[in-house]
Amino acid sequence: MKAGRYEYRWADGTTMVSAPEYVELLMNWIETQIDNEHIFPKKTGEPFPPNFEDFVKRILRKLFRVYAHIYHSHFPKIVTLNEQAHLNTCFHRYLLFVSEFQLVDKEEMVPIQKLVETILKP
Amino acid sequence: MDTARAWLKKLKSKGKEKSSNKKETSRGNVKEGSKTAGGEEAVSNVTKQKAAAAKQYIENHYKKQVQSQQQRKERRDMLENKLAAAEVSEEEQKNLLKDLEKKETEYMRRQRHKMGTDDFEPLTMIGKGAFGEVRICREKTTGNVYAMKKLKKSEMLRRGQVEHVKAERNLLAEVDSNCIVKLYCSFQDEEYLYLIMEYLPGGDMMTLLMRKDTLTEDEARFYVGETVLAIESIHKHNYIHRDIKPDNLLLDRSGHMKLSDFGLCKPLDCSILQEKDFVVAHNLSGALQSDGRPVAPRRTRSQMEQLQNWQRNRRMLAYSTVGTPDYIAPEVLLKKGYGMECDWWSLGAIMYEMLVGFPPFYSDEPMTTCRKIVNWKNYLKFPDEVRLSPEAKDLICRLLCNVEQRIGTKGANEIKEHPWFSGVEWEKLYQMKAAFIPQVNDELDTQNFEKFEETDKQVPKTPKSGPWRKMLSSKDINFVGYTYKNVEIVNHDQLPGIAELKKKSTKPKRPSIKSLFEDESASSTTSHQGSFMKLLPTQIEVPEKEDKSSSSSETLSSSTTRFDNATS
């Protein structure tokens, strides 16, 4: 899956897949993580795991790649579908959240750095 | 949109910069641009559908978030105001606020739990229709008993019922009222939509009327009165029920009535009606011309014969795909524009049936019934054998009439002030002893419902994970936003603070030291009663629960009476 000059591969860079395949694999994986009660407990009083933050960071880092791909490869189509407000709202909230809690490194955001800086500019 | 435009401009300028740097890239961009500029052809219908569904999903998501945030703020503000007014010590204030935060966090965690059929144990079927079924079920975690209404998606789509389904879910989720059956949660899988609702073991008004034949005016006044309050309740939220009928008037275990839509029937298809209506009108006109006087409809049956015939056909009609048109307002049948007043017509038809024994435009053929309704001026009559007070007749005639003259068009108070309701204490109607108290032996009792053959009792276990993410498949696009969770099913009894605060918000009290202390003492009493109740047999436990939920002395007295009756 590409985002401009950057290419993302599945399984930490070992498997080359198309964007739809990548997104499908990613969403399946994220759902597995969220449904895992050892990571995201549902019952009363069950504690979160000590490395909970690592799990969250990994999920959000990979989600960024989907946004990067959409903005780089599909934004004109998004505009044609009149869906840009929805996309921008979701990304805006995502970005504010990960920025507030420092969940994604800046290096990871380079593919759409100008957009990121525009949103985060005080 | 301004933000979106700004971003669009920036991205366009970004594109220009790229084109100035690299020729090859520039060519690619130009080509892509030209394709997109080609317009609609580049975007398939499937993509458009998915985009529309995604938009709806996103809007629903953020709307819910805003609502939740607002509610949390309201609860906190309420607590802070209460603490300030009660002059509690600063340290105690901090403790209570921290406790609320803890409860809110726990509540949010529970909200994340995805409800599915796996969470419920299916029990007896109590309703079945063209679109699906209604069944008692027990939540595995809490043991609470609910009614699970299950609707087949493919049937909803095939019969054009999607908007009806959405409207029902929206109404039940929005309206929190004594008079309306409570919706606890809704969810879906690939095949079905599910509504988890309050189980009302008393049966419905249709069954009651079939048992009683007719009601006295005092008995009818009670049920018509509660129906008025129920209709008023949904009208205040700008909902029109449009299909109020005895099947949709359910009775709880103490005999009080709640409005629902358990009827699993398709709304009547009257596409042929107008043509036949014209024919009928012509005939009437012709008859008038030839004889020089209007032709009165011949009375071929006595009241008793009509009543018996009605009862034979009634249940069959209720579960057919045709449905029962007897209570539908003429403007609804004619598919002209209609407003909230169409529900008051239905009330009039139900009141007539309570007092006379069958609905006012009854006929063996539904289509004939529709024609009678549309020509109500010629067909609205009271059988000679029926003795009604002038006030009762007057109210019925004011409800079954043209929209312009119909009582209730300017609000429910018009009806409440009618002489037939003289002496009714509207605020106490739901605390009174009901006209009839249903026989209910235990919480799983279904004797007030019809028996249904179990073709396939086991609810097929569909994995919860799949449908959630594949919500954008063409089949599920219509049902985006269906999932819902009520505060009570999420909260259980373990977090009383949130439920209490919510209840208080609907009935705001003046904050005072006394009320705060009373709340605390009530809370301790409740927990004590709770622990005590665990030692009691199950049969006796249910009335005690009712005591706990009630604050009215009249209800307490009534409950005690019921308990004594149960004992004897």
Q: What confidence category does residue B491 fall into, taking pLDDT thresholds of 50, 70 and 90?
A: low
* Percentage of the residues of chain B whose pLDDT score is greater than 90: 18
Structure tokens at B52: 């529309």
Sign of CA dihedral B404, B406, B412, B416: positive
Q: Is A89 in Cβ contact with B58 (below 8 Å)?
A: yes
Give dist(CA B184, CA B174) in Å, integer. Answer: 11
Chain B environment of A76 (Cβ under 8 Å)? 32-33, 36
Q: Which residues pair with B150 in a beta bridge?
A: B133, B194
Give dist(CA B264, CA B323) in Å, integer. Answer: 9
Nearest 10 degrees: Cα torsion B548, B551, B556, B559: -50
Rounded to the nearest integer, the mean pLDDT of chain B is 69
Tell the burial category of B428 from Cβ atoms under 10 Å away from its Cβ (0-12, 13-18, 19+): exposed
Look at A12-21, B20-29, B408-417 and tell me which has the smallest mean pLDDT. B20-29
| B336 within some domain | yes
Look at A60-64, B309-313, B387-391, B513-517 and tell me which has the smallest mean pLDDT. B513-517
Who wins on pLDDT, A112 or B540? A112
- Show the domain range for B219: 202-279+303-429
User: What's residue B213's pLDDT?
Assistant: 82
Structure tokens at B178: 């004594």
Q: What confidence category does residue A103 fall into, taking pLDDT thresholds of 50, 70 and 90?
A: very high
Q: Is A86 in Cβ contact with B11 (below 8 Å)?
A: no
**pLDDT of A25 higher than 80:** yes
User: What's residue B242's pLDDT?
Assistant: 67
CB of B226 closer than 8 Å to CB of B256:
yes
**pLDDT of B561 higher than 50:** no
User: What's residue B535's pLDDT?
Assistant: 32
Cα B43 to chain centroid distance, Å, stands at 39
Q: Which residues pair with A15 in a beta bridge?
A: A10
Chain A environment of B14 (Cβ under 8 Å)? 114
Structure tokens at B342: 């169409």
- pLDDT, mean of residues B144-156: 87
User: What's residue B221's pLDDT?
Assistant: 92
Interface test with B, best of A73, A80, A114 (most B CBs within 10 A): A80
Q: Which runs of consecutive H residues, i.e. helices, occur in B402-537?
A: 412-416, 465-469, 487-491, 496-506, 513-533
Q: Is B11 in Cβ contact with A75 (below 8 Å)?
A: yes
Interface test with B, best of A32, A67, A79 (most B CBs within 10 A): A79
First to last CA, chain A: 32
Structure tokens at B429: 């109607």
Q: What confidence category does residue B381 fall into, taking pLDDT thresholds of 50, 70 and 90?
A: confident
**pLDDT of B414 higher than 80:** yes
User: What's residue B476's pLDDT?
Assistant: 62
Who wins on pLDDT, B460 or B268? B460
| Cβ neighbours of B330 (radius 10 Å) | 23
Tell me which amino acid residue B27 is: R
Closest by Cα among B73, B258, B269 to B171: B258
DSSP states of B281-337:
HHHHHHHHHHHSS--PPP--S-HHHHHHHHHHHHHHHHTSSS--GGG--HHHHTTS-
- Of the candidates A28, A44, A85, which has its C-beta nearest B4's C-beta? A85
Q: Is B112 in Cβ contact with A40 (below 8 Å)?
A: yes
Contacts of B93 (CB under 8 A, 6+ apart): B83
Which contacts of B465-468 are long-range, i.e. CB under 8 A and separated by 24 or more positions? B465/A31, B465/A35, B466/B189, B466/B190, B467/B188, B467/B189, B467/B190, B468/A31, B468/B114
User: What's residue B548's pLDDT?
Assistant: 31
Interface test with B, best of A26, A75, A112 (most B CBs within 10 A): A75
Q: Which residues pair with B127 in a beta bridge?
A: B134
Instruction: Provide the number of CB pairs (under 8 Å) joining chain A to chain B.
Output: 60
B45-55 residue pLDDT tens? 888 878 988 98
Chain A environment of B53 (Cβ under 8 Å)? none
Who wins on pLDDT, B493 or B438? B438
Who wins on pLDDT, B360 or B78? B360
Highest mean pLDDT among B41-45, B133-137, B439-443, B533-537 belongs to B133-137
Chain A environment of B4 (Cβ under 8 Å)? 84-85, 88
CB of B419 closer than 8 Å to CB of B394:
yes
Tell me which amino acid residue A105 is: D
Give dist(CA B109, CA B373) in Å, integer. Answer: 52
Tell me which amino acid residue B429 is: L
Residue whose structure tokens are 């933000």: B3
CATH assignment at residue B329: 1.10.510.10
- Of the candidates A35, A76, A118, which has its C-beta nearest B10's C-beta? A118
Binding-site residues of A for Zn(2+): 69, 74
**pLDDT of B41 higher than 70:** no
Chain A environment of B54 (Cβ under 8 Å)? 83, 86
- pLDDT, mean of residues B171-200: 85
Highest mean pLDDT among B111-120, B216-225, B460-469, B476-485 belongs to B216-225
Q: How far is A76 from chain B (nearest CA, A)?
A: 7
Minimum CA–CA partner of B464 in chain A: A35
B249-288 residue pLDDT tens? 999 979 998 988 634 333 444 443 443 343 333 333 333 3
User: What's residue B169's pLDDT?
Assistant: 76
B75-100 residue pLDDT tens? 889 888 878 888 778 787 888 888 88
Interface test with A, best of B7, B25, B58 (most A CBs within 10 A): B7
Minimum CA–CA partner of B1 in chain A: A85
Q: Is B54 in Cβ contact with A83 (below 8 Å)?
A: yes
Interface of B with A (CB under 8 A): 1, 3-4, 7-8, 10-11, 14, 32-33, 36, 39, 42-43, 47-48, 51, 54-55, 58-59, 62, 106, 109-110, 112-113, 465, 468-469, 494
User: What's residue B255's pLDDT?
Assistant: 94
Q: Which residues pair with B249 in a beta bridge?
A: B259
Q: Is B269 a catalytic residue?
A: no
Break chain A into its structural domains and give their ranges. 2-120
**pLDDT of B2 higher than 50:** no
Give dist(CA B398, CA B351) in Å, integer. Answer: 12
Interface of A with B (CB under 8 A): 27-28, 31, 35, 40-42, 44, 71, 75-77, 79-86, 88-90, 114-115, 118
Domain tally, chain B: 1
User: What's residue B226's pLDDT?
Assistant: 95
Catalytic entry in B119, B189, B204, B243: B243
- pLDDT, mean of residues A101-112: 86
Q: How far is B39 from chain A (nearest CA, A)?
A: 8
B57-73 residue pLDDT tens? 898 888 778 878 888 88
Closest by Cα among B208, B250, B206 to B226: B250
Who wins on pLDDT, B503 or B291? B503
Q: Is A84 in Cβ contact with B4 (below 8 Å)?
A: yes
Rounded to the nearest integer, the mean pLDDT of chain A is 86
Chain A environment of B140 (Cβ under 8 Å)? none
Pairing state of beta strands B249-251 and B192-198? Answer: unpaired
Q: Is A86 in Cβ contact with B58 (below 8 Å)?
A: yes
Chain B environment of A96 (Cβ under 8 Å)? none
Give dist(CA A114, CA A71) in Å, integer. Answer: 12
Look at B37-41, B214-218, B472-476 and tell me which has the smallest mean pLDDT. B37-41
A60-78 residue pLDDT tens? 988 998 999 999 898 998 9
Nearest 10 degrees: Cα torsion B10, B11, B13, B17: 130
The domain A2-120 having CATH identifier 3.40.50.1980: the answer here is no
